[in-house]
Structure 1
């Protein structure tokens, strides 16, 4: 197996696992740039995964091959609404944002498992038939060398996630909306003095966070697991949060970190087919993503500057 063949196995797999992390980390960027800690990304991914699978199974016959895209839309909407619980608790009632996020995670898992047992009579859903499959990107897959590595046997969702990352970067750093969002996360009192509605901007940030995390959960469920159970997401939301911090709350940095974590996760799947890793015990490959996440955060968290008002509830007129 030559080097090009090895890359053609690793790269598409890394992009596959990175896509859900990218979407979710981008969602976290909106929430945390507005000043609201969102530990609940894991729970929002769970809601997105559950919604997408149930929608896919329910409407597969009516919508055919396009059902997976409509399922992502449904996941986005439901997770956005679910994120409203975190927004109300942490912004309107000024509850501890970490505690609220943890509550969202616990509620999401408990609620979805209850609904799965209620609907399907067992601990997990049926397998979906209309999932995202490997494709060769037209024209691009025919490019010599590069086409075989990046654009053959890959997934549309991977490139969709990368495109969205650049769009989010532009929105946050190059638009008036992004400036207002960042201002309420850095100095909400100054933003309020300039006529910016701090509460409104934070609500918008948290709800966009829910929408993108819902898409992340839906992409994971419809491209990797193909069903939903209690262990479907299994820490992906926390890994996305780690990617956001590792990327210093910058959408492109978060995308880079998510690609790194996606690569680490892909090794546990494709490692046995690679000459360099075939003799490594599988348990080491399975724990590698989490170990690398811890090492990355331990090495970079001290150098990452969070938004100044992150985690601090804003009370109008109070310093």
Structure 2
């Protein structure tokens, strides 16, 4: 049971962070399909930082610097999507897909350059990111994620910024008519998306293992986070619940060999496939009732009313 709780929290927080990032972007009116790629970029930036920091540095500073660098890398990478979608008015789905493909290639090139073996694998120590409570080993991303969940809710629903952001995703023409700069708000939404998605990528890669092969990217976690966002109806606490629900399925692959599930003799690939199958089934039944921001995916042209 402790193992199930451990991995559910581990994966659930990752999915929640990335889905919250997608939520901010889509509330501004930009569909961020590039979450998968942003996770990869954040992961490789954070891991490289982790390997380069001196061993004498305190664990707190190691964690803080790695997270900040990952977030910064995610912000920079997300600006490519923002520029293409907002300034060039390019198709957001195609732009996001291109960034997903590019991210893995960038990560492989960078990791091979810095890897001692010349492969796409990077080795690192994840000890600064782990702590124990009553025999339950958790990562620092669990409390950090819960804090960011509350902050995201407050920002989105209790601040003027959140009101303006949601207005730009619902009716940008009306927002513009009252003096809101739609372009700046959409940039802000994508930037928040990049930061949260990148931190989620680091949270996915570092705590569970001490080596990562960047040729596999993040194994579809970004796309699963999109499903979490939709299932959570673009609302922070609903997203948290959806993330934990899907994380239970994801966790089964990690605990199957040490529980009664081992008697089934199923391949771990079956368990790894479960959250994606569950997402397709759930979205097939709930997508008709989903209420997405009305202007998401539609480029804003100030000249058209």
Asked if TM exceeds 0.5, the reply is yes
Which range moves more in the overlay, 70-79 or 126-135? 126-135
**Alignment check: 8 A CA contact 2:111 2:122 kept:** no
Q: 1:54 aligns with which of 48, 58, 63?
A: 48
* 1:212 matches 2:206: no
Query: For the residues of structure 1 that align with 2:276 and 2:144, how far apart are their CA atoms?
Result: 25
Alignment correspondent of 1:94: 89
Structure 2 equivalent of residue 163 of structure 1: 147
2:18 to 1, 13, 24: 24
Moved more, 155-164 or 41-50: 155-164
Structure with greater strand percent: 2
Instruction: Give the direction of change, closer, same or farther, for the CA distance of 1:199–1:53 in structure 2 (3 Å limit).
Output: same
- For 1:167 and 1:131, the matched residues in 2 are separated by 27
Deviations 1:159-198 (A, max 9, x none): 3212211210121011111000000000000000010000
In structure 2, runs of 5+ residues without a counterpart are none
CA separation in 2, counterparts of 1:105 and 1:251?
24
**RMSD between aligned alpha carbons?**
1.7
Deviation, 1:248, is 0.7
Contact map agreement 1:162 1:255 (CA 8 A) in 2: no
In 2, the alpha carbon distance for the partners of 1:133 and 1:81 equals 24
Give the C-alpha shift of residue 272 in structure 1. Answer: 2.4
TM-score, normalised via structure 1 length: 0.89
Q: What per-residue deviation string (whole Å, max 9, x for no partner) do you get for residues 47-105 of structure 1?
A: 01100111000114252423133111100011101110000000011000001101111
Q: Does the residue aligned with 1:126 lie in a helix, a strand or coil?
A: strand
Match of 1:144 in 2: none
Are 2:182 and 1:198 equivalent residues in the alignment?
yes
The unaligned stretches of length 5 or more in structure 1 are: 1-5, 142-147
Q: TM-score, normalised by structure 2?
A: 0.93
Give the structure 2 partner of residue 233 of structure 1. Answer: 218
1:123 is paired with a residue whose SS is coil
Q: 1:127: which partner in 2?
A: 123
- When structure 1 is superposed on structure 2, of 297-306 and 63-72 the one drifting more is 63-72
